[in-house]
Structure 1
Amino acid sequence: MVFVKAAWITLLTRTNYTVGVQVLARSLQNVQSQYPLVVLYTPDTIPESVVDLLRRSGCITRPTQYIVPEGKIEYMWDYYPDTWTKLRVWELDEYDRVVLLDADMLVKDNMDELMTMTLQEGWIAACHACNSMKVKQYPADW
């Protein structure tokens, strides 16, 4: 199955990840991916100058709003609350398929087959979680 509209997606909620997004974009270009990188960004924390820089780096930019769950949640690291906002990727219904990549990833080989691999109707695919940092709070099977 070939999807006409597919894209790599990343989220930018803090300016200190801007260089990471640029590296991700360049690495996708270097492996000659035929799909664009769409950067979801939060306008209240990402200045327009950064958005312009990302556009000049070849990214498609889309503003989005934070998702903040109700109630108090204890997080291990201070960037975890931003992770909820990654769920906004499912709002990009102009694409037939999206693949979410973290802003600190470096693509070393072309992965375009992820855009065309067969999935059952309504399914999503995800990589297996790992615990390379040996964090004791993570589930044992990670």
Structure 2
Amino acid sequence: MSRYVFEYAPLTNGNRQRRLFWFFTVLAVFIVIINVLAVNRLYVSPSPLDNFQKLNSLSSVYKSSYSVRSDSIPFDIPSKEERAVLTTIYSESYYAGVLTLGHSLQATNTSARRLLLYIPDRLSPQTLCRLEAGGWELHSIPRIPPPAGGKGVYPRFLDQYTKLQIWGLDKVGVKTVLYIDGDTLVRQNFDELWSLPFNFAAVPDVYTDRRGFTTSFNAGVMFLRMSSAVMEDMLSKIDTAKYKRLDAEQGFLNVYFAMQVIRLPFIYNANLALKRRSPGLWKALEPDMRIVHYTITKPFSETRTHRDLDAAQAMQMQNNMLREQGHADGGLWAEEMGWWDAVWRDTIKTLEYQC
């Protein structure tokens, strides 16, 4: 009778290595997938409409006020005294930006009041004097603190909820506002906006990463109508609404006005991200640009201030800053820095003997 002997040899080194290779390969793929999902959740949050929350009952179309809905009330365009171009300043670092913005508004003959909201004790008397001499109507406002003590809010946006104070300006006789950030420059008159028959309008946002063009809006330029009641309603909901806290007030406003916002063309908020995302689009927009928004890079320093500098030192600091920014990214922003520089120099010349 034949005798078969079966021998069970132990795993060879080669087999063990192959199994370890596939184990770590699968593990690595799993880790990559988890990280991609985490990054998507962090940076590619749902649009305000995908994340829709019924936070208000406002109408998109203007009737007479937010509380009146009668179709018999005719639409009226606010007078020059009832409309305002408005910006905010929370620190000395935006002094040069706001001063230059004010001069650009004057140069383009904007037919509206120019209001500047600021937090008391944040600006020196000389800065306030210069800003007022530059044509800004100054209004001090209390700071609105971020919800949850600022947890989850990007540090440089911790004062930004104060922007919600804008809606309370009906108390000083303002009916309609075009809000623009202090890091913008007005290149052409935009008086056509005052005839908009809507309650809230803004420009769609754009990013240089994979998010690209979005349905959300950028809160750096907003057309809106005043209502202290709306302001109080917003303040009661900033703690409970679900939005990306990293984006501070812009994240909140996007979910609050998600259903009512009218989207304006990019010419009213020519965000520098547009140029990096689509140079061809940027070039096509240039002839009609009303407002340029220096988002990616600033023509002034956000960390240094002019508080302790004389006029010559301030000008030298600004010149150095513009030279650096003009050469950044291979000179990508040289032309846009030149636009701002021309207005800045004219601003300083005009205010040379003021304050």
C-alpha distance in structure 2 between counterparts of 1:29 and 1:140, whole Å: 32
* Contact in 1 for aligned 2:143/2:159 (Cα 8 Å): yes
Q: 5+ unaligned residues in a row in structure 1: which ranges?
A: none
C-alpha distance in structure 1 between counterparts of 2:212 and 2:143, whole Å: 27
Spell out structure 1 runs of 4+ moving beyond 3 A. none
Higher relative contact order (CA 8 A, sep 6+): 1
1:125 equivalent in alignment to 2:125? no
- Two-structure CA RMSD over aligned residues (Å): 1.9
Shift of 1:30: 1.0
Of 139, 148, 152, the residue aligned with 1:74 is 152
The structure richer in helix per residue is: 2
1:6 equivalent in alignment to 2:83? yes
* Contact in 1 for aligned 2:89/2:119 (Cα 8 Å): yes
Of 152, 161, 166, the residue aligned with 1:89 is 166
User: Which protein shows a greater Rg?
Assistant: 2
The one-letter amino acid paired with 2:192 is E
Q: How does 1:25-64 map to 2 (within 5 A)?
A: 25-64=102-141
1:89 partner SS: helix
Aligned-residue identity in percent: 26
Shift of 1:44: 2.2
Q: Deviations over 1:45-65 (max 9, x none)?
A: 122221111110011000011
Number of residue pairs aligned between Structure 1 and Structure 2: 135
The aligned residue for residue 184 of structure 2 is: 105
Shift of 1:20: 0.5
Q: TM-score, normalised by structure 1?
A: 0.86
The one-letter amino acid paired with 2:203 is C
C-alpha distance in structure 2 between counterparts of 1:48 and 1:105, whole Å: 24
Q: TM-score, normalised by structure 2?
A: 0.36
C-alpha distance in structure 1 between counterparts of 2:187 and 2:212, whole Å: 29
Shift of 1:139: 8.8
Q: 5+ unaligned residues in a row in structure 2: which ranges?
A: 1-75, 217-355
Shift of 1:25: 0.5
